[in-house]
Chains A and B, each alone.
Chain A
Amino acid sequence: MLSRLASPRTGGLLALAIVIALLPLALANKYFYDIAVLVGLNAIVCVGLNLLIGYAGQISLGHAGFFGLGAYGSAILASRYGWPPLAAMLTTTLAVAALAYLVGRPILRLKGHYLAMATLGMGIIVYMVITTEDRFTGGPDGIAVVPFSIGGFVLQGERIWYWVVGVLLLAAVWLALNLIESPTGRALRALHSSEVGAEVVGINAAEHKLLVFVISAVFASVAGSLAAHYSGFVTPGKVAFLHSIELVTMVVFGGMASIFGAVVGAAALTTLPQLLTVFEDYEMMVFGAVMMGTMIFLPRGVVPSMARLFQTRRNASSDDRAGSA
């Protein structure tokens, strides 16, 4: 029983559920709820992106593109053409999945810097299309989005969104945890260590990489659709290259190949700019210092480095006991 709780699939998920359930006690007003919702939405993207970067070892500098396509797809279908938001979101998600599949097939053959370049290029193309096609997207000034509604029920207000995003984040984490503990997950980790080695033991590397690329794109697209409905407004800033970098930074900061690391990274990087406003003009400097400090002292990311530290301490103390006995 205890050993089952200690495994991330039950213990970690339970811990996350408790945090989500208890957090509202500390949220004094709508502003704090707003931050929590943004953390949740970013965390969903990062959990997906982490499958790609952390587990499969493939970089993507274009995920803001998928996020943005999700956001704009929902915005355009629901607000301009009056589709029901849920149908708009599902259609958009399917379209993004298909696009990720088509784009992923050729570019995932590339490795390292070349893959980074290709995904970067993809993101920039999406950005350019969105800023130029202003008849549909509103151009650089953005587009207003209707609130999310299912049937006659309209999702509005930070508190309702908090629970919706909380449940979706739990679902995303649960899906990701199950995926990496499945044969597919093991295959992904194998091809992360050595693609050639993985192919030798019969893993179809190309197919697995493509699968995880599509999954991460779907996570980003869904989060994008929700973010658009939640904010009520989308601008191309969410599709820009800088946002892609921000997402990758969240994953690296929290810890690669750690699902909960992605959540922690998203939480840290979303709340830090809010906390650092006290430094006024020095805000960005302090932000940079925090990032550098974390990478120097916790090089594997916050969660894995902490876990390791904890592990070695525990091992050391059990060694002591063994020695004295």
Chain B
Amino acid sequence: MKSTQATTSIKRGFAAIAATLALFSASAVAQEPIKIGAFLSVTGGAAFLGDPEQKTLELYVAKVNAAGGVLGRKLQLVAYDSAGDAEKARTFTKRLIEQDKVDVIVGGSTTGETMAVVPLVEAAQIPFISLAGAVVIIEPVKKWVFKTPHTDRMACEKIFIDMQSRKFSKVAMISGPGGFDKSMHGQCLGVAKKYGIEVVADETYGGGDTDMTAQLTKIKNTAGVQAVLNAGFGQGPAIVTKNYRQIGITMPLYQSHGVASKEFIKLAGAAAEGVRLPAAALLVADALPASDPQRSVVVNYRNEYESHFKSEVSTFGGHAYDGLMIVVEAMKKAGGTDKAKVRDAIEATHGFMGTAGVFNMSATDHMGLDLSAFRMLEVKGGNWTLVK
């Protein structure tokens, strides 16, 4: 009697265990998360890029999960800090691919980091959306590599078109020493001719320079200059702007999208009045007319970000938002996480409204933005206004 009782209870125990196991494995299959890999420069010199990118990814992965995830599966973010170091970026990418076995990679805050991992993602055949700026990432087209930020060449073109409309053809350039400055400088020189622009003076300044009067005086004394373009990043452009007014140059001054933040107006003060620059719609969310199709996307993202992190929104976080959302849409379309199908779906992204603009990707364009992604802004009364 006793023994039978014992055996039944043991049997029951086994049954219970088996049932739990079955349940567990069943739920494991259903809820196996979709892994999104990321390597971002959260610390180091490029932290201003990586920090908002990581915050944005964390915020929106949580939001997507709260809304039920993708295809009934939750998203899981695996993020590493590559600290702006190409070597680290490479190692972490190997880790994402080999160790964490992620389904897709969104990351690469800087061009150097992105280019360092391109051979890896191509070899591993995994979709990769870069958050870095330069044109080299998508030209020539690499099968598995995409990017969401607009390129510096587009900024140059936007500026040159504006110059054309104001009938300027002789332009002076002044640029800084950083990666951004150098890349944009090169791109601008490359496309200038296309817009009938002649660069008649080309000056540079150093990283720690606190006075650019000498270079600007040279530009001032160059015959025929009609406008000045400063390809710069960080503090340099603010100093250029101040010196520009101090030595009494009255020609129009153009800055790059690299200084499209309130910080620039604060640093340059009254001298910033009248300065024009191309920028993403995100920065002028409130200035956009209600009829603008991009308005709701950028206003929503800005409100979410600023209410969550209590810090000012930047375009860089917006690029991460675009990247993540393009991936989510692509996975929905592909009906799963099959890498080749997701890649094809990303390449087929059409009419997706992101913070950077409308994305229309194709086999020959792995970014998919056109010049409408940039808005030409002018500083008026200490604030950005849209140039009509």
Contact = CB atoms under 8 A, between A and B. Distances in A.
Interface of A: 29-31, 34-35, 38, 131-132, 134, 139-142, 144, 227, 231-235, 237-238, 273-274, 277, 283-284
Contacts of A29: 98-99
Contact of B115 (A38, A134, A142): A142
A233 B115 contact: yes
Interface residues of B, number: 29
Nearest to B85: A237
Contact of B183 (A141, A232, A237): A141
B99 A233 contact: no
A35 B88 CA distance: 10
Given A31-B98, A140-B112, A235 B91 contact: no
B81 A231 contact: no
B53 to A, nearest CB: 15
Nearest to A30: B98
B90 A231 contact: yes
Contact of B179 (A30, A139, A273): A139
B112 A141 contact: yes
A237 B87 contact: yes
Q: Give the interface SS of chain A, mostly helix, strand, loop or mixed.
A: helix
Contacts of A233: 86, 90, 112, 115-116, 119
A35 B93 CA distance: 12
Given A38-B87, A38-B91, A237-B86, A131 B177 contact: yes
Given A238-B87, A274-B91, A134 B182 contact: yes
Given A141-B115, A233-B115, A283-B81, A31 B90 contact: no
26 contacts: A31-B94, A31-B95, A31-B99, A34-B91, A34-B94, A38-B91, A131-B177, A132-B177, A134-B186, A139-B179, A139-B182, A139-B183, A141-B136, A141-B183, A142-B86, A142-B115, A142-B116, A231-B86, A231-B90, A232-B119, A233-B86, A233-B90, A235-B112, A237-B84, A277-B81, A283-B81
B321 interface: no
Contacts of B177: 131-132
A141 B182 CA distance: 9
B111 interface: yes
Nearest to B81: A283
A142 B95 contact: no
Nearest to A29: B98
B197 interface: no
Contacts, number: 73
Q: Give the interface SS of chain B, mostly helix, strand, loop or mixed.
A: helix
A96 B182 CA distance: 27
Interface in B169-188: 177-179, 182-183, 186
Interface string B109-137: 00111011001000000000000001010
A231 B119 CA distance: 9
B94 A30 contact: yes
Q: Which 6 A-B pairs have the closest CB atoms?
A: A140-B179, A31-B98, A235-B112, A233-B116, A235-B86, A29-B98
Contacts of A237: 84-87, 112
A230 to B, nearest CB: 10
B60 interface: no
B80 interface: yes
Contacts of B97: 31
Given A231-B87, A232-B116, A238-B87, 8 more contacts: A31-B99, A34-B94, A139-B183, A141-B111, A142-B112, A142-B115, A142-B116, A235-B86
B43 interface: yes
Contacts of B136: 141
A77 to B, nearest CB: 20
Contacts of A142: 86, 112, 115-116
